[in-house]
Every structure is written in C-alpha cells, then in structure tokens.
Structure 1
Amino acid sequence: MAHLRELRSRLTKAVLGIVLGTIIALVFYEPILNWLSEPYSEIRPELEAQGINTDLVLTGVGGAFTFQLKICLIAGVVMSSPIWLWQIWGFVLPALHRNEKKSAILLTGIGAPLFVAGAYGAYLVLPKAILLLIGFVPDGWGSLLTGAEYLNFVVRMVLVFGLAAEIPLVVTVLNRIGAVSAAQLAQFRPWTIITIFVFAAVATPTTDPLTMLFLAAPMTILYFVAEILARFSDRRRHRERSKLADDELSSLDD
C-alpha cells in the first residue's frame, strides 16, 4: 500500500507538471506556433515561384480550438519533462542497486541529448521535405494543408529522427548486458546498414533520396560509433576475465 500511495503521489505531481506546462504553452502560444510554422513559411516563396498557391488552414467550427489545445498539450509535455521524468526516476531508483543507479543516470544523461540532436536534425530537414511533397501539386492546382496534418507531419519527423539518434545507446546497452558482441556487430554490419536504409526510406514521409540519406547517414555513422564502443567494452571484459583464476571462471562464460 505504501508503494501504491507513493505511485499515486508521483503520478499526481507528474500530471500537475504537465498541466502547468500546458498553461505556460497557452500563454506563449503565438511564439510556439510561429516556430512550428517557420519551415512552411520558409518554402512558400519557392512554391509560389513554381506557380503553386498553398496555405495552412483550419477546418471546422472548433478546429482552431482543438489545434491550439493539441499544440499546447504537446508543448506542455515537452516543457514539463524534467518534472515527470524526475517523478519516474524517483519511483524507480530506490529499487536499483548502486551500480544500476549509476548506469541508469548515465544512460539518461546520454540518451536525452541524442534525442534532442535527432529532433533538431528533423527540424532542419523539414523545409526540404515540405517543399518536395507540396511540389507534386499539378500545374494550375492549389494546396490547402490543414493544421492537424501539418502538426502530425512535424511530430512524426521529430520522433523518427529523435528515436533514430538513440541507436548507439541501444547497441551499447545490448553489448553491456552480453546480448551482442563487437564481433557479431561486425559480422552483421552489411545487413544492419541495409536495414537502416530500408527503415529510413519507410520512416521518412518524403520520397526523395536526400531526406532518406539525411536520416540514414547519421544512423550508419552512429552504428559505427556503437561498434567501436562495443569493441573497447569487449576488450575490457576480456582483460577482467583473464585476471581471474581458472577455478573462478564459470563454464557459461567460456
């Protein structure tokens, strides 16, 4: 019951943090909206030069309210992430051993910047992606892009690029727990690279090779980095085992 009460308390604090972040986002709704629509505004002159008239529109009586609420809720979750992440850690960390706590904190400290870097990369490639997709509009036609469609497109790109940036972290964790070795990573490297490019082609909503390469190339480089880290980890593990006497080694480790 004590654990359940603590869980209820931490969930309440996390929800209150998200509500607070959403309220702050409502206050700064205009700057947030301008920041989100900047990639679209950046490519409008190029589309108009091609003879394509395009506009962002909101449909329905309550469309503007729903759109604003959705943006503020997403922004609130992002802004309040230190609060609800701390509540999650506060509930989980007491159950971990000292070494596990250090590893968890280290992984969080590395994973968060990687995700932010990937998300920022998605924001940089958004103008090119939007320009390419809207560029398929036939001559003499216009393009009306609803706010909901645009927001879903932006969120999808950010999540895909952000999660893709976590590749070295995932591979390193698998190596540390003994699931894969550096030799196995090197053996399956060609297939892994092919899988990365297939994932990039499917995950990116555009059909041009440039956007696919913008996602696949960093993923491949990060995989190589993870392979190098795994090689160092295997060498250190081998040195530690060599220091033990023969009767201290388990047959399962050989």
Structure 2
Amino acid sequence: MGFALKKRGKKSDFDRAADGSMTLIEHVRELRNRLFLASLAVLAGLVVGYLVSLPVFELLQRPYCNLPGVRDADGVCQMIQLGPADSFLLRLKIALWVGLILSAPVWLYQLWAFIAPGLHRHERRYSYAFAAIAAPLFAAGALLAYFIVDKGLSFLLEAGLTGLSNQLEVTRYISFVTNMILIFGVAFEFPLLVLMLNFVGLVSARKLLSWWRVAVFIFFAFSAVVTPTPDPFGMTALAICLCALYFAAVGVAFLNDKRRGRGKEVYAGLDDDQASPLQTSTEPVGAVPTTEVPAPIPASEPVERPTPIDGRYDDMT
C-alpha cells in the first residue's frame, strides 16, 4: 500500500526535466537513450528503404526516361555508370533518404521529447501546429520540384550544344533531382518562419504587409540563385508559390493580431515623429507610511559533516 502511494506521487521524467529537478547526468543519460532509439529507427528505415530503393529509383528516373532518344531498341532507359561501385553506393544513398523519411516520426519525436520540457505550455502548443503544417509544406515543395524537373530537363538538354548524346551519368542525375527536392521543400518552410515571428510578437501583420515589395524581390532573387535549371519556368514557379505562401502567412498573421487585440494600444495611432500625450494628475501625494522594524534573524544552526562516498559508480561515471 505504501509502495503504491509512493509510486503514484513520483514525478515523471518529463515533469522533473520541466521543473529543473533533473541532474546533469540524468539529462546526458536521457539524451543517450533517445539518440539510441532514434538510431534504431533510422537503421530500421534504412533496411526498408533498401528494399524499396528500386521503385524509388525508377520514380526519380522517370523524368529522364521520358526524354526522346534515351531508350534503346528494347525500350530500356539507358544511363552511364562511371565507377564499378557507383550503382551500389547510389542504392545505399537512396535507401538512406527513404529511411530518414520513414523514420522521421520516431526521431522527430525523440528530439521533441528532449527539448519540450524547456518550453512553456503555449510554446508547445504552437510547436504542435507548426510541425503539423511543416510536413505538408515540405511535401508540396517536393512535388513542385519533381514537376519542374519533369518539365525543365528537356529544356536543359535541348538548349545546349547539338549533336551530343542525351545519356546522363546516374549519380550526378540522382543528386540533381534530390537537391531540387530538398531546396524546394526547405524553401516552402519560409511561411512558418514568418508566422513564428508574428506569433511571438516580434513583427505585426501590418509590418509584414508593408514589406511585400521587398519580399517579392527576395523570392525571385532566391529562386534564380537556388534553382539549378536556367530556364525561367522553374524560377517563376518557385517564386510565385513563395509569394502566395507569404501572403497567406500574412493573412493568418492578421487573424492572430485581431484575436490578440494588437494594434489597439495607446500609441498605435501616433506617427513616429509625433509626441505622445502626457497624462497629468492633480491628486495630492500623501505621507509615506511608516515601516515596521524587522525582527533580527536568528543564528544559523551548525552544518552536519557530510557522509563519505561509498565508492560505487553508475553507468555514467
């Protein structure tokens, strides 16, 4: 009975980490355990990714195989392999990418469970919403990148020198496609940064809307730099999508400001160079009340001599 009551009143590791009662060694041990679980999840995802790497490779190869003149008489899509181990290393690379994606819920949860005790309750709530939005945005950016590769690859090969073979080296081609997917996916996370600045109170929605010209210029310049294809189609598609996401984020910021009552402060309607009105008060100032003399602090009791260490060590020391 006593054991049950003691166990019921015992704090969990999350509560102990949140209130600061967990020691440094316990934090290190928790980090080690969570890294171990995340590594097991990535290893399991790597095994599954290796099994499905061939269908994934065919999916990434499809924009290239749709080009004219790259298939032989039997209809096989021909690519060039420079080294004897390039094919195997490429399969491992694809398996690792797939494994990271499949195991993302596990290692992201382990990362979140380690840093969540240091956040406030409202910060955790915002993190849940941002994480739920981040995954669809990254997927939308990846789909746009795949579509641009499918449409822009023929432009790259036809706009160059004529008379050259269209066969591409397999490692460089897969790196080209995966880099496009990664760049577009990360670029689509920019609206979350805008919303984060607004939700924490650093930037208002009106200020974000006043920066729309600068934002549009930065989006087009960013798209022109990071897009590997020199054709205007890919750059314009990425810039337009980023502009649409920016204005959508500004709309959500306006709703957030309206819900919190921002913009209705005392000095909201004043210009930067206009002096604020002074509030004068004619109430008389009364006498300062007398304070009581505090009682003297008793002398401290002697500290007991610490007991010697028994010499036993745990797994961290």
The TM-score by the shorter chain falls in which range?
0.7 to 0.9
The structure with the largest alpha-carbon Rg is: 2
2: distance between equivalents of 1:23 and 1:58?
24
Instruction: Decide which structure has greater helix share.
Output: 1
What amino acid does structure 1 have at the position aligned with 2:203?
Answer: V
Q: Which has the higher contact order (CA 8 A, sep 6+)?
A: 1
CA deviation after TM superposition for structure 1 residue 108, in Å:
0.4
Contact 2:70 2:166 in 1 (8 A): no
Contact 1:114 1:166 in 2 (8 A): yes
Contact 2:156 2:231 in 1 (8 A): no
1: distance between equivalents of 2:122 and 2:144?
33
What amino acid does structure 2 have at the position aligned with 1:190?
Answer: R
Task: Structure 1 unaligned segments of length 5 or more: list them.
Answer: 49-53, 243-254
* Partner in structure 2 of residue 127 of structure 1: 150
Q: Deviations over 1:119-170 (max 9, x none)?
A: 1111122111211112234222213422221121111111121122222211
Q: Find the partner of 1:66 among 89, 93, 118.
A: 89
The yes-or-no answer on 1:3 pairing with 2:31 is no
Question: Normalization by structure 1: what TM-score?
Answer: 0.86
| Count of residues in Structure 1 that have an aligned counterpart in Structure 2 | 237
Contact 1:193 1:220 in 2 (8 A): yes
Alignment root-mean-square deviation, CA: 2.1
* Partner in structure 1 of residue 225 of structure 2: 202
Contact 1:119 1:158 in 2 (8 A): yes
* Partner in structure 2 of residue 229 of structure 1: 252
SS at match of 1:91: helix
What amino acid does structure 2 have at the position aligned with 1:165?
Answer: F
2: distance between equivalents of 1:6 and 1:40?
47
* Partner in structure 1 of residue 270 of structure 2: none
Task: Structure 2 unaligned segments of length 5 or more: list them.
Answer: 1-24, 72-76, 266-317
Contact 2:152 2:233 in 1 (8 A): no
Q: Find the partner of 2:43 among 19, 27, 36.
A: 19
Over 3 Å counting, the alpha-carbon distance change for 1:167 and 1:108 in structure 2 is same
CA deviation after TM superposition for structure 1 residue 25, in Å:
1.4
